[in-house]
Amino acid sequence: MNWFVEILKAILLTVVLFTFLAVVAAMLGVLAERKISGWIQSRLGPKHVGPQGLLQTVADTVKLLQKEHITPLNADALTFNIAPVMVVVAALLAWMIIPFGPAFGRVLVVRDINIGLLFFIAMASLIVIGILLGGWSSNNKYALLGGFRAASQMISYEIPLALAMMVPIMMAGTLSTVGIVEAQAGGTLDMGNWFIFGGRFQWRGVIPSVIAFAMFLTAATAETNRVPFDLPEAESELVAGFFTEYTGMRFALFQLGEYAEAFAMAALASVLFLGGWHGPVLPGVAWFFIKMFALVFFLMWVRWTYPRLRFDQLLNLSWKGLVPLGFLLVLLTGWLLV
């Protein structure tokens, strides 16, 4: 094995994946969010830049590139500037294990790491450390409160997230994402073995995976700090939460990190429960993107459907609801599948 070639390949893949995230997750994601928000609220959303406002986020990025780089005098300058980079890099690393589908005779995935899901959880919690760093180093009361809220939210919802992942892991018997998707191959129309339809266990698989899917989406919404769990950046009480002090490009980096994480969660949900790239007629990669965008649309829909939770409700939902439910779910799955 030629290590030099491998390193060059890795560098190239980083650039490709980063560009993919910047274009699809950040630019397309923000545009979709604004357009869908507009339609749900009976308005048009951005429509003047480019055809139907398609180039709005491109224009925004160009604008943000020209904004002054301001570090507040009281802030801890080093950590203040590291935090947004850390959020982006953690989101980028989380995307390493997401398989896009078969193409050119192999599966399109950066690395099929054998402990992929564990790696994903680790990287998803690194994002929160970046947020906490940003909130603390701003030396701003709103930002500090936002950072602490993000930390408490992360510790409350990481356990339900991991427990919801446990069900597909138990059904597939592997932690590798490619292995989990391959365990969902076949069945009627190449859909019958999706874990949400019970995989190869028929009705014994349906019950736990439907509950786990709902739990995963709830916990993922909370982990990505999206409405109704957007307490860390609650704009009506904390201005902008942890990124109150951030301007220009560093603000955009935070946005990129957040959208990349939200898209990663949607992609992982489709890998774990909706059969990844499996589906009838269309090529695999197309199915993967259809499922991912459907789930992203669902997240945006939820945003305009539920009001923000109060802090004690948020903690109760996790510790008195999802955590006991998650452990019972693992036991139920074990009982049904053993």
Partner 1 sequence: MPERVLLDWLYVAVFAVVGVVMATLPLGIVWLLAPRVELPQKRMTYESGVVPFGQAWAQFNIRYYLFALIFVLFEVEVIYLFPWAVVFRQLGKFAFIEAVLFIVILGMGLIYAWRKGALEWV
According to CB under 8 A, which residues from 122 to 141 bind partner 1? Answer: 136, 138-141
Angle at 251 between CA 71 and CA 29, to 5 degrees: 175
The reply on whether position 169 binds partner 1 by CB under 8 A is: yes
Residue with tokens 């060059």: 8
List, in sequence order, every residue forming a beta bridge with 108; answer none if it has no partner: 101
List, in sequence order, every residue forming a beta bridge with 107; answer none if it has no partner: 102
The reply on whether position 245 binds partner 1 by CB under 8 A is: yes
- What x/- string results for residues 1 through 20 when contact with partner 1 is judged by CB under 8 A? x-x--xx--xx-xxx-xx--
CB of 211 to partner 1, least distance (A): 16
d(CA 252, CA 78): 18
**Cα→Cα distances 312→153, 156, 218, 252, 276, Å:** 11, 12, 16, 31, 36
- What x/- string results for residues 170 through 209 when contact with partner 1 is judged by CB under 8 A? x--xxx----------------------------------
Segment 319 to 338, residues that bind partner 1, using CB under 8 A: 319-320, 323-324, 327, 330-331, 334-335, 337-338
Using the contact rule CB under 8 A, the part of the chain among 59-67, 271-279, 285-293, 298-306 near partner 1 is 59-67
d(CA 268, CA 260): 12
The reply on whether position 217 binds partner 1 by CB under 8 A is: no
CB 144 within 8 A of CB 136: yes
Angle at 148 between CA 231 and CA 83, to 5 degrees: 100
Using the contact rule CB under 8 A, the part of the chain among 83-91, 187-195, 219-227, 274-282 near partner 1 is 83-91
Q: Which is nearer to partner 1, 150 or 227 (CB)?
A: 150
Contact pick of 55, 102, 152, 204 for partner 1 (by CB under 8 A)? 152
Q: Provide long-range contacts, Cβ within 8 A and 24+ apart, for 53-59.
A: 56/31, 57/26, 57/27, 57/28, 57/30, 57/31, 58/27
The reply on whether position 281 binds partner 1 by CB under 8 A is: no
Q: Which is nearer to partner 1, 281 or 338 (CB)?
A: 338
Using the contact rule CB under 8 A, the part of the chain among 52-60, 217-225, 301-309, 311-319 near partner 1 is 311-319
Q: Which is nearer to partner 1, 26 or 227 (CB)?
A: 26
